[in-house]
Amino acid sequence: MSGKPQAPAIEGWYTMEAETRLIGSCCKSCGTYFFPKQSHYCKNPDCESTDFDEVELSRTGHVWSYTNASYQPPAPFVAPDPFEPYAIAAVQLEKEQMVVLGQVADGFSVDDLKVGMPMELVLEPLHETEDDVKVTWKWRPLSH
């Protein structure tokens, strides 16, 4: 890779350390977790809170579902150009038990995935700009 600095493809959605974590929010009233983070109102229909704590979410979880994306994803997901099909995993986070969608790390396809398989969060480059390399979160099978 080039010597350009890495920058998040989407600002404020994940930390930029090697062991990246998604940044979500937790409702101060009912304790429900959200990703991407909520800051205006709680989506829990039984809760009227507008107070949230910003929290870093679990960086591991288990595959809940997965699919092959054979179409261009909607924003804010950015696909390589020219477009190549890739796998998307829905991973249930270890602690929060919420499901977070993400692309599967380079080198892995749906053939490598199984429901219930442990996964971890990684950062991988998406594309280069003149100034930096944009990175985003992906799910990678946890090796044992």
Contact residues toward Zn ion (CB under 5 A) are 27, 29-30, 42, 44, 47, 49
Shorter beta-carbon distance to Zn ion: residue 16 or 30: 30
Shorter beta-carbon distance to Zn ion: residue 52 or 108: 52
Least distance in angstroms from the C-beta of 52 to Zn ion: 8
Shorter beta-carbon distance to Zn ion: residue 42 or 93: 42
Least distance in angstroms from the C-beta of 137 to Zn ion: 25
Distance CA 34, CA 113 (A): 25
